[in-house]
Amino acid sequence: MRYGIVLALLLCWPPLQAAEVDANFIREAARQSGYTEEQIRAWMAQAEKKTSILEAISRPAEGKAWKDYRPIFLQPGRVEGGRRFMQVHHLALRRAENQYGVPAEIITAIIGVETRYGRHAGRYRVLDALYTLGFHYPKRGEFFRKQLLALFKLARQQGLDVLALKGSYAGAMGYGQFIPTSYLEYAVDFDEDGHADLLGSAEDAIGSVAHYLARHGWQRNQPVIRRLRPPRPVPVVKPRKMKPDTTVEAILQQGFVLEGAPLPGELEAVIVRLKGQRGDEYWLGTRNFYAITRYNHSPLYAMAVSQLAEAIAQ
């Protein structure tokens, strides 16, 4: 028994300490949000640690291979749902496209990948998610405590009910799954009713997703990805690259062949390598590909969004 305890202690060394909801945190939350310390304390007393949230964050879908990840998002149901979403919201989507330069089908695909067009916007209480990860997940505790502080500020600003707000296990909310800091920074009141409501208004969500991508470098009238045929032997391409580090011209000079219409040689690009159904796949990603990875830091995510957008638009 005693040896068991010693062994357990050794296995967890160095110990990762769970943070505490202390007076400093309460004071900071009150200061940032404008709520009283009593109010913040009352909410924190109702926050619950959820084991299911700790389990969920330890197995993200982005850990899969592309061949297993792609089918989750490219099934006919999700493509069809995207077409319907585009029909219903075509006016808002056109307006967002004109204003921010982001194509309607890309905005739609992001909302489709995130929440199946708003149908699965999350079943966890955001307060519980951010409390659990902020105070019981030391690896990223600081990040989630910052999100929790932003949640209070957001609730105050938008008149949201802290105890009723639902979202993902990571505290992402609404059609486009914005975490509190993104909500504060990028949400727009696209239907002009006085509130940026990313949970209840598809129109606000559409404008906000487009605004987010525009602020992360989206370039109007530029492609997102294009398939490449590699030369033999295939040059070494590091996996999981996302940021353009070369140009179309330099990629072609390596012997890659671009499928489809030509692109300007000086266009910034990156070679993306993925484990496909039939071995390695090579793709050319642009600044717009990179902008999508700012939404979710994964080349698989940006690929799924691009391909779903293409399937919806066809």
Pick 165 or 308: Cβ nearer Ca ion: 165
Helices 141-158 and 126-136 meet at what angle, rounded to 10?
150
19-52 exposure pattern, b = at least 16 Cβ within 10 A, e = fewer: eebeeebbebbbeebebeeebbeebbeebeebee
Measured from the CB of residue 201, what is the shortest distance to Ca ion in angstroms?
Answer: 5
Measured from the CB of residue 177, what is the shortest distance to Ca ion in angstroms?
Answer: 18
Measured from the CB of residue 189, what is the shortest distance to Ca ion in angstroms?
Answer: 4
Pick 20 or 161: Cβ nearer Ca ion: 161
Pick 57 or 92: Cβ nearer Ca ion: 92
Pick 168 or 201: Cβ nearer Ca ion: 201
What is the 3-class SS of the chain, one letter each residue?
CHHHHHHHHHHCCCCCCCCCCCHHHHHHHHHHHCCCHHHHHHHHHHCCCCHHHHHHHCCCHHHCCHHHHHHHHCCHHHHHHHHHHHHHCHHHHHHHHHHHCCCHHHHHHHHHHHHCCCCCCCCEEHHHHHHHHHHHCHHHHHHHHHHHHHHHHHHHHHCCCCCCCEECCCCCECCCCECHHHHHHHCCCCCCCCCCCCCCCHHHHHHHHHHHHHHCCCCCCCCCEEEEECCCCCCCCCCCCCCCCEEHHHHHHCCCEECCCCCCCCCEEEEEEEEECCEEEEEEECHHHHHHHCCCCCHHHHHHHHHHHHHHHC
Which residues contact Ca ion by CB under 5 A? Answer: 189, 191, 193, 195, 197, 201, 204
Q: Which two tokens stand for residue 233?
A: 């032997």
Pick 201 or 286: Cβ nearer Ca ion: 201
Measured from the CB of residue 193, what is the shortest distance to Ca ion in angstroms?
Answer: 4
Measured from the CB of residue 82, what is the shortest distance to Ca ion in angstroms?
Answer: 23
Measured from the CB of residue 207, what is the shortest distance to Ca ion in angstroms?
Answer: 9
Pick 189 or 310: Cβ nearer Ca ion: 189
114 a catalytic residue: yes
Catalytic residue from among 55, 97, 105, 114: 114
Please identify every residue annotated as catalytic. 114
